[in-house]
Structure 1
Amino acid sequence: MERFINPFSDMGFKRIFGQEATKDLLIDFLNDLLEGEKTVTDITFLDKEILPDFNEFRGAIYDIYCVNESGEHFIVEMQNGYQTYFRERALFYLSHIITRQGRPGGDWHFDVKAVYGVFFMNFCLDDIPHKLRTDVILADRETHEQFSDKLRFIFIELPYFHKREDECNTNFDKWIYTLKNMETLKTIPFKDRKKVFKKLEKTVDLASMTPEERDRYEESIKVYRDYVNTIEDTSHRSWRKGRMEGRAEGHREGRVEGKIEMARNMKAEGLPLTLISKVSGLSAEEIEKLS
């Protein structure tokens, strides 16, 4: 029987990184992620839902959205299922934060604060080197010199992490190992070297939950497992469709049809519209038209 929560479920992820009582866990993770670059001393959580400026435009809903003591913005997301346009979605999300920093009048001179996007992924991106961490910055194509430090993407592809406990040399490794193996662990490792992990152990212990929290967690786990299974089944059938047709175009069409079918199944299960949109990549309007 599991002792600790699944950190990849919606409630599990936000219990660790998205609540005021445990914000020191997020601060510690960000500092380990950006070690040698910057030190975050405090964060303030902001509204995770950003409404569009115009009705016909699309808004954004983040898992975790916060600013640090310097006013820099951090978007932290967990994505369990593959999305064809995931990189474009990440760009859309961070661009939202950039543009919303604008102020009316002539006194504002485009002094935007940096925006960081940190994306945990339980899948692998296409067409990039196979590695755990991909850092994307704005840089000159020829010299590779950084052009601006105001936009930063960090993609963490969890399937590429295979280290054993005794191979985790950096604090970042310790975080990823613990998160990836949390649901099967009997005790949280590295507590003697990372004091904050003592608090992490108490936070993720299922026995520490109230009955109401446990009910919400079990519902979150059900949603997580349902749509992960739906994604895997849909991806397999889409792959078979493309393979049987023997054409790249057929494979692409199969993926599109698969996403529509996945969204239709999730809608039939009564899952939240925002979750269906996040997993499938379809807009709320497209999902509402499905029957």
Structure 2
Amino acid sequence: MCSEGIVERYVNFYTDFAFKKLFGTEINKELLISFLNALLHGREKIEDITYLNAEHLGKQEYDRRAVFDVYCKNEKGEHFIVEMQKGEQQFFKDRSIYYSTFAIREQAPRGDWNYELKGIYTIGILNFSIYPDNTDFYHEIKLIDIDTKEIFYDKLTFIYLEMPKFTKEEDKLETLFDKWLYAIRNLATLMKRPEALQEKVFTRLFEAAEIAKFDRKERYEYEESLKNYRDWISVIETAENKGVAKGHAKGLEEGIAKGRELGEKEKAIAIARQLKDMNFDVEVISRSTGLDIKEIERI
């Protein structure tokens, strides 16, 4: 049993355990359906989803694999990849594109095929910013014609939510989407269900997220997941601080640039070392940090 003490009433949504329990299990799929409908702002109404295998090994033995947090399709056959990202990764956008290719290839049937595809949504709930100079927290990306600005292909969509930029307080929540983001951001700090979150779906959310209702196995798994999350945050903060400190030794202007460079490298190495200690697969560590596999093996 880990030594982390739990004083919160509800789980931390950013932990792997909580995210997969609340969004990735059949018993709680109404939560994911509600979130996806709110995310899509009424453009379509998802009635049901089917969870798909989250681990993909590729077509050949030597292919790289992908492990999704949540992977499902709706009744129309549209695919949804939903990922919770705790920390910034050097090649995060590349990773998103790579993951989407699995949902594309899996739609190819055996035999004759006219190449028609169903829609694919890759959704990232990010606990960091990928556009630091942009104040918007919601980003939707599609393929477009650069000259005409018209959408070239509307079946491939990437949606990124920069959670640190969502700062609405309870009395400012207007839409169901606002309420979902507020719940995701604040769940671990709440001691009761907020008055603004009175929709039926949030009754289910707060029931499923209450730690006191976990059995012994769930409690243990959550404590381990929470410890890993806290270790991850600590590793990132330490690496960033060390990088900035080294940078200051070489002068302010040069030091800031160098500090960032050193910070990113040290952060990646520190994270890789931490993940190795947690027995993560080397390929997973490589994709998470951007480090080469051989470099990781030497750490």
TM-score (norm 1): 0.91
Contact 1:264 1:290 in 2 (8 A): no
Structure 1 residues 223, 276: CA separation in 2 closer, same or farther (over 3 Å shift)?
Answer: farther
How many residues in Structure 1 have an aligned counterpart in Structure 2? 288
- The one-letter code matched in structure 2 to 1:2 is E
Q: CA deviation at 1:130?
A: 2.6
CA RMSD of aligned residues (A): 2.2
Match of 2:73 in 1: 67
Match of 1:40 in 2: 46
> Which of 96, 112, 115 is 2:117 aligned to?
112
Match of 1:176 in 2: 181
Unaligned runs of 5+ in 1: none
Is 1:89 the equivalent of 2:95?
A: yes
Q: Report the Cα distance in structure 2 between the residues aligned to 1:10 and 1:93, rounded to whole angstroms.
A: 18
Match of 2:270 in 1: 261
Q: CA deviation at 1:237?
A: 2.1
Structure 1 residues 96, 122: CA separation in 2 closer, same or farther (over 3 Å shift)?
Answer: same
Q: Report the Cα distance in structure 2 between the residues aligned to 1:254 and 1:223, rounded to whole angstroms.
A: 21
Q: Report the Cα distance in structure 2 between the residues aligned to 1:78 and 1:86, rounded to whole angstroms.
A: 12
Is 1:289 the equivalent of 2:294?
A: no
Q: CA deviation at 1:208?
A: 1.2
Q: Report the Cα distance in structure 1 between the residues aligned to 2:193 and 2:295, rounded to whole angstroms.
A: 40
Match of 2:127 in 1: 122
Q: Report the Cα distance in structure 1 between the residues aligned to 2:197 and 2:165, rounded to whole angstroms.
A: 26
TM-superposition CA deviations, 1:173-224 (whole Å, max 9, x none): 0001111111111112257641111111100011111111101110111111
Q: Secondary structure at the match of 1:289?
A: helix
Q: CA deviation at 1:228?
A: 1.5
Q: CA deviation at 1:229?
A: 0.9
Match of 1:153 in 2: 158
TM-superposition CA deviations, 1:1-54 (whole Å, max 9, x none): 311011110001111101000000000000001122111110011111111223
Q: CA deviation at 1:288?
A: 5.6
- Percent identity of the aligned residues? 39
Aligned pairs for 1:16-31 within 5 A: 16-31=22-37
Q: CA deviation at 1:243?
A: 5.1
Match of 2:204 in 1: 199
Q: CA deviation at 1:254?
A: 4.8
Unaligned runs of 5+ in 2: 1-6
Contact 1:241 1:251 in 2 (8 A): no
Q: Report the Cα distance in structure 1 between the residues aligned to 2:130 and 2:91, rounded to whole angstroms.
A: 10
Q: Report the Cα distance in structure 1 between the residues aligned to 2:171 and 2:86, rounded to whole angstroms.
A: 27
- The one-letter code matched in structure 2 to 1:66 is C
Structure 1 residues 278, 177: CA separation in 2 closer, same or farther (over 3 Å shift)?
Answer: farther
Q: Secondary structure at the match of 2:298?
A: coil
Structure 1 residues 190, 115: CA separation in 2 closer, same or farther (over 3 Å shift)?
Answer: farther
Q: CA deviation at 1:277?
A: 4.2
User: Greater shift after overlay, 242-251 or 180-189?
Assistant: 242-251
